[in-house]
């Protein structure tokens, strides 16, 4: 018996590697040593202007958003989500992402499909200004269905110890600013699929408020905030940053706060995207549940000096591709977060 008869096609793996090379090459920087195909990825650290280097890592996946990619048979953007979920975490402490690695596990290696996934990962790395230095594609027949796969990633960033953003300089009266999301991003899809169902005809229905169908709206890639935050951090004193992912506002905002402080978030201070109203109404989901599951239109929330809030908001709106909103302020207290 040969390995191929057991369901693992080595030739398909070789073809997938050849197809992905052009996408990987888009991400390479002078710091990358060697190329694709080695046992490990090599990256030369540039420590110029770094007094006390700290490496920062993050790993994540795309979750059940993949189910909708399977339904749509669209695989060229889901890799952006994977990169975003990792690099947006890394930048929260002020670290610039350096490189990324991916892991794809599939029931059957279809080289053209793997290429599309890698195409999205490479695009995400370009947006995050980091290199794709390696990865793994595991063909696992009998474990995954032939037409399904899972996707995860791992990012490493660098920050000077003195410039780590950790919330320790927060004071009462600091402003909270939110950066607009592009949609649902990559969290809460189990609730979405439960509330809206997976009926293909329903998901492919066109909605006037969307540019396309419900399915297309749900598959919009996660916003990558690295460039905007790097520019912001270089120009202003940013005290704390939160990536609004799984757990929504109630879990993620408190993670950036030291003891004794409360984030006061004002409803109505930013536009809630139509997709969230559709989800809420379809599943009859309570407002608190929405805020504890989804980003509600804000993918990043950060704290800064209150007297600089208007200036910082203008800077973001004028100098980056991201829309900013002043959404509240920091006060003393132990409630962690109040949304009113």
**pLDDT (tens digit per residue) in 159-208:** 999 999 999 999 999 999 999 999 999 999 999 999 887 778 889 888 88
Can you tell me the distance from the alpha carbon of 230 to that of 77, in angstroms, rounded to the nearest whole number? 23
| Stretch 294-298: mean pLDDT | 98
Answer whether residue 38 shows pLDDT above 80. Answer: no
Confidence of residue 5 (pLDDT cuts 50, 70, 90): low
Confidence of residue 34 (pLDDT cuts 50, 70, 90): confident
Residue 220 and residue 183 in contact, taking contact as beta carbons nearer than 8 Å: yes
Q: Measure the CA angle with vertex 46, ends 44 and 53; round to 5°.
A: 105
C-alpha dihedral sign at 87, 93, 97, 102: negative
Answer whether residue 1 shows pLDDT above 90. Answer: no
Distance of CA 245 to the CA centre of its chain: 8
Q: H helices of the chain, where?
A: 10-25, 65-72, 78-91, 111-128, 189-196, 200-203, 214-218, 226-235, 248-252, 274-283, 287-291, 309-319
- In CATH terms, the fold of domain 175-339 is Phosphoribosyl-aminoimidazole Synthetase; Chain A, domain 2 (3.90.650)
DSSP β-ladder status, 131-139 and 96-106: parallel
What tens digit of pLDDT does each residue of 216-226 get? Answer: 999 999 999 99
| Stretch 46-56: mean pLDDT | 94
Answer whether residue 313 shows pLDDT above 90. Answer: yes
Q: What is the pLDDT of residue 199?
A: 79
Q: Domain 3-163 carries which CATH code?
A: 3.30.1330.10
Answer whether residue 15 shows pLDDT above 90. Answer: no
Q: What is the pLDDT of residue 209?
A: 84
Answer whether residue 36 shows pLDDT above 80. Answer: no
For residue 151, count CB atoms less than 10 angstroms from its CB and return exposed for 0-12, middle for 13-18, buried for 19 or more. buried
Answer whether residue 78 shows pLDDT above 70. Answer: yes
CATH 3.30.1330.10 positions along the chain are: 3-163
For the chain, give the mean pLDDT.
94
Query: Higher pLDDT residue, 149 or 4?
Result: 149
Whole-number CA gyration radius for the chain: 21
Answer whether residue 151 shows pLDDT above 70. Answer: yes
Can you tell me the distance from the alpha carbon of 178 to that of 198, in angstroms, rounded to the nearest whole number? 31
Q: What is the pLDDT of residue 16?
A: 84
Name which of 278, 265, 258, 280 is nearest 217 in CA terms. 278
Counting residues of the chain whose pLDDT is more than 70, the rounded percentage is: 100
What is the DSSP code string of 65-106?
HHHHHHHHT--SSHHHHHHHHHHHHHHTTTPEEEEEEEEEEE
| Stretch 87-109: mean pLDDT | 97
Answer whether residue 50 shows pLDDT above 80. Answer: yes
Answer whether residue 46 shows pLDDT above 80. Answer: yes
For residue 323, count CB atoms less than 10 angstroms from its CB and return exposed for 0-12, middle for 13-18, buried for 19 or more. middle
| Stretch 103-117: mean pLDDT | 96
CATH 3.90.650.10 positions along the chain are: 175-339
């Amino acid at each position: 018996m040969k390995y191929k008869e057991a369901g693992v096609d080595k030739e398909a793996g070789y073809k997938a590697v050849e197809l992905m090379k052009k996408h990987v090459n888009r991400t390479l920087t002078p710091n990358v040593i060697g190329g694709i195909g080695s046992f490990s990825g090599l990256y030369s650290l540039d420590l110029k202007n770094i007094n006390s280097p700290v490496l920062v890592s993050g790993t994540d996946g795309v979750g059940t958003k993949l189910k909708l990619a399977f339904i749509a048979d669209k695989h060229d953007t889901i890799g952006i989500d994977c990169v975003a979920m990792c690099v947006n975490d890394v930048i929260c402490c002020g670290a610039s992402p350096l490189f990324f690695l991916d892991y794809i596990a599939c029931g059957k290696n279809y080289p053209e499909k793997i290429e599309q996934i890698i195409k999205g990962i490479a695009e995400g790395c370009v947006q995050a200004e980091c290199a794709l230095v390696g990865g793994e594609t595991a063909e696992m027949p009998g474990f995954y269905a032939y037409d399904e796969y899972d996707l995860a990633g791992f990012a490493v960033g660098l920050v000077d110890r003195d410039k780590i953003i950790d919330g320790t300089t927060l004071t009462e009266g600091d402003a909270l600013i939110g950066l607009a999301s592009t949609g649902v991003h990559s969290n809460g899809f189990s609730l979405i699929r439960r509330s809206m169902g997976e009926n293909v005809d329903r998901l492919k229905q066109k909605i006037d408020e969307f540019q396309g169908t419900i399915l297309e709206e749900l598959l919009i890639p996660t916003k990558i905030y690295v460039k905007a935050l790097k520019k912001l951090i270089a120009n202003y004193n940013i005290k704390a940053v939160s990536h609004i992912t799984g757990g929504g506002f109630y879990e993620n905002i408190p993670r950036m706060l030291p003891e004794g402080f409360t984030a006061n978030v004002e409803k109505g201070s930013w536009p809630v995207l139509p997709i969230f109203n559709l989800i809420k109404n379809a599943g009859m989901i309570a407002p608190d549940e929405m805020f504890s599951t989804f980003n509600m239109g804000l993918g990043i929330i950060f704290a800064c000096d209150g007297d600089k809030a208007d200036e910082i908001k203008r800077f973001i709106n004028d100098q980056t591709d991201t829309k900013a909103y002043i959404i509240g302020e920091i006060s003393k207290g132990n409630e962690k977060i109040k949304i009113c």
